Structure 1
Amino acid sequence: MTLAPLLDAPFAVQLHVATVIPAAILGALLLARPKGTRWHRLLGKIWIALMVVTACSTFFIHEIKLVGDFSPIHLLSIYVLFGSRQAIAAARRHDIAAHRGHVARMYLGGIVVAGLFTLLPGRLMHASLFSGLSNWQAAATAAALAALLIAATVLAIRHGRLFGVGKSSKRLA
């Protein structure tokens, strides 16, 4: 592992990584912990802010150009911006099922799925995380990380922590 590729990257990439890593950790913590507490609300506001900055930073990153300077990942960034607004609005009107759905989709799409794509060969995070490893070792490590993220997500869904499955999604008064 080396930070050299990240330290040599443009500022927008550094900002993106500096906000997405804490958003990933904080988001997992928020999904796993009890909801509706004062800590949940405070940390949730911080998470939303991190996600918005992360999404905004992508508009200054143009490494993959499919449509002009943009790629499909920019569509996800647009969703995160609109999803953040929707998640906040749902929480304010106490529509917990809608809030949970928006947040879960932002986390799964914006953190888990997008994060897995950063582990592909040729990408900056692959170069940072897997430098010095053989292709086989890098692939095995990436597969283990992917399996861990997928297993954690499946467990969260099965225990009703995402999407309200297994628990009542009552509207709080």
Structure 2
Amino acid sequence: MSDNNVIDVLIPLHASGATVAMLLGAWNLRRNPKGDRPHRLAGRVWVVAMYWTILSSFFIKELTPGHFSWIHGLSAFTFVTLSIGLWAAVTHRVETHRRFMTGSYFGLLGAFAGAVAVPSRDIPQWLVHEPLRLTLAAAACLLVAAAVVVTVRHRRAAKPAAPADS
């Protein structure tokens, strides 16, 4: 497989990971309570989607062919902030976790804005030249995120009830 073919597959997978992360991040930030089982399970999927998006970005070098760009610096920064937020969750540092994960999410939104605001980038080009394919890909990402939400909510509802006193 040539480098161009790899990039042709990698960029949509990168964008899909970012889209799933945007959807799950929004759901997890908006819902209450925080820290319960659904929050943690959806958060785990969000972290995997974020790490995929970050790591895959290092193989995309379209802005400066063959070289890293300033965007890769933002990816490295996000890798650090996401890792600190994950470490904070594991070590029960709730406020640090909240700040770093929220910051990582808003950084993701900023990256999305940059990806759609520049007409020569792939998403605006797909919108113009392949709107059905873009719509189907977005719908697939929405279905993945919805499946995660339904699954984590169902797992909470399926939790066995405490034994009744006799």
Structure 2 length as normaliser, TM-score? 0.69
Deviation for aligned residue 1:16: 0.2
Query: Who is 2:162 aligned against?
Result: none
User: Secondary structure of 1:47's partner?
Assistant: helix
| Pair 1:8–1:59, CA change in 2 (3 A) | closer
The answer to whether the aligner puts 1:112 opposite 2:75 as a matched pair is no
Is 2:100 aligned against 1:121? no
**44-53 vs 81-90, which deviates more?**
81-90
The residue number in structure 1 matching 2:77 is 79
1:113 Cα deviation from its structure 2 partner:
0.7
Of the two, which has the highest radius of gyration? 2
Tell me the alpha carbon deviations over residues 124-145 of structure 1, each in whole angstroms, 9 at most, x when there is no partner.
1011224599xxxxxxxxxxxx
| Distance in 2 (alpha carbons) for counterparts of 1:8 and 1:50 | 19
- The structure with the largest helix share of the pair is 2
Give distance in 2, aligned partners of 1:8 and 1:91: 35
| Partner residue, 2:54 | 55
CA shift at 1:96, angstroms?
1.1
Q: Which residue of 2 aligns with 1:26?
A: 24
> How much does 1:80 deviate?
2.1
Are the equivalent residues in 2 in contact too, given 1:13–1:61 (CA < 8 A)?
A: yes
CA distance in 2, matches of 1:113, 1:132: 24
Following TM superposition, by how much is the alpha carbon of 1:31 offset from its aligned partner in structure 2, in angstroms? 0.7
CA contact (8 A) 2:7 2:60 kept: no
CA RMSD of the aligned region, Å? 2.3
Aligned partners of 2:85 and 2:101 also within 8 Å: yes
Is the Cα contact below 8 Å between 1:19 and 1:51 reproduced in 2?
Answer: yes
Question: Identity of counterpart residues, as a percentage?
Answer: 33
In structure 2, the gaps of 5 or more residues are: 132-166
Query: Does the CA contact (< 8 Å) of 2:17 and 2:49 recur in 1?
Result: yes
How many residues are treated as equivalent by the alignment? 125
Distance 1:72 1:130 in 2: 27
